[in-house]
A = this chain, B = another copy of it.
Amino acid sequence: MRARNIKPTAMRELVLEVLSRQTAAIGLPELEEHFEKADRTTLYRTLKTFEEKKLIHKIDDGTGTVKYALCSETCECEPDDLHVHFLCKKCEKTYCLYNIPVPTINLPPGFQLDGVNMVVNGICSNCRT
């Protein structure tokens, strides 16, 4: 896991462990709840480090809380690696649809594409009983 060049401290191990257990993306406030002692700042900086080293990626689902999820092994967070995200308006969980790549967009002339954020919202399969 630390093929990503991150110094493995105790705290980081714990955070990564929590992240690995998630079935949906997780935000800083929720991550905080998983710890008794840990400070928000430390978690914040841990996530930031993880993101910079491309161990996780950021997801802005429009809920006001930025969420994070593990990147796939080979992910470099470039346009080709990007996938669609799904926000359930019932359970408020955000899922990575790892196998649904973001569609290619033809921008108007003169526009340079660097990245895409695509969030689909609706109701997830769990919430549809």
Give residues in A with beta carbon < 8 Å to B: 60, 62, 84, 86, 89, 97, 100, 103, 105-125, 128
Q: A86-B107, A97-B108 given as contacts; is B117 within 8 A of A122 (CB)?
A: no
Instruction: Contact check, B117 vs A119: say whether CB atoms are below 8 A apart.
Output: yes
Residue of B nearest to A89 (CB): B114
Instruction: Contact check, A112 vs B123: say whether CB atoms are below 8 A apart.
Output: yes
Selected contact of A111 from candidates B86, B105, B106, CB within 8 Å:
B86
Give Cα A41–Cα B124 distance, bound, in whole angstroms: 35
The 10 closest A-B pairs by CB, nearest first: A110-B125, A103-B103, A114-B122, A60-B62, A112-B123, A112-B122, A113-B122, A118-B118, A117-B119, A115-B121
Contacts of A60 in B (CB 8 A): 60, 62
**Known interface pairs A60-B60, A114-B121, A114-B123; 10 further A-B residue pairs with C-beta atoms within 8 A, sorted by A's residue number:** A60-B62, A97-B108, A107-B120, A111-B122, A112-B122, A112-B123, A113-B120, A116-B118, A117-B121, A118-B119
